[in-house]
Amino acid sequence: MSVADIKKNSDQRMQKSIETLKNDLAKVRTGRAHTGILDHVQVDYYGTPTHITQVANVTLIDARTIGVQPWEKKMLNAIEKAIRDADLGLNPSSQGELIRVPTPPLTEERRKEMVKLVKTEGEGAKIAVRNIRRDANETLKKMLKDKECSEDDERRAQDEVQKLTDKFVAEVDKLLAEKEKEVLTV
C-alpha cells in the first residue's frame, strides 16, 4: 500500500462517515413532515421484514401529514402497526386505502431533546473521522518502520491526513449547525 492509497482510503472512509451522519440526521424529526422519517420503518411482509417504501407509496399530503398507500390492501394493518411500533412518536390512522400519518408539532422541551440527539450523532461522526485518522497514521508509522517510505513522506502524509480530518470535522460541524437551526425553528 502506498502513501497515496492511504490518503485516498482515508478520504473515502471519512466521506462514508459524513454520509452516515447525513442519513442519521435525516431521521431526526423536525416540526415538518417529510417522507424520510419512514425510510427505516420495517413492515412484516409475509414473514419478511421489508422497508415500508417497498410495500407502499409514501407521499406528503400537506406540510404536517404523510400519506402511505399500500400496494396490497392486506398490508394496511401491518403498515399501520409497523409505524406505531417504530417509536417515532407518530400515530397513523387509516382512511379506506390510505394511511394518514400526522406529525405532531414539537414542544420546546422536545426540540431541546432533539438538539441533544443531533449533537450526539455529530460527536459520533467526529469520533469516527478521528479513528480513521488514527488508523491512517498508524499505517504510515508502520510503513516508515518497515522502510517502505521516507520520514519526509510519512510526515507530509500525516499532515495531509490531518488536513483531511480538519476538513471533515468542519463539515460535521456545519451539518450539525444546519440541523440544529432546522430543529429549533418553530
CATH, residue 17: 1.10.132.20
Same domain, 96 and 113: no
CATH, residue 79: 3.30.1360.40
Please report, in tens digits, the pLDDT of each residue of the chain (186 residues total): 788 888 999 999 999 999 988 888 877 766 667 777 777 788 888 888 888 888 889 888 887 888 999 998 888 888 888 888 877 777 888 888 898 888 877 778 878 878 888 888 899 999 999 999 999 999 999 988 988 888 888 899 999 999 999 999 999 999 999 888 887 776
What's the domain range around 16?
3-27+107-184
Given this model, what pLDDT does residue 16 score?
93
Cα(139)–Cα(31) distance, integer angstroms: 45
pTM above 0.85, yes or no: no
The candidate with the shortest Cα–Cα distance to 24, out of 128, 99, 122, is 122
- Which residue among 102, 119, 141 closes a domain? 102
Rounded (10°) CA dihedral 13, 14, 18, 24: 60
Phi and psi at 102, nearest 5°, equal -75, 140
Total domains in the chain come to 2
Given this model, what pLDDT does residue 186 score?
64
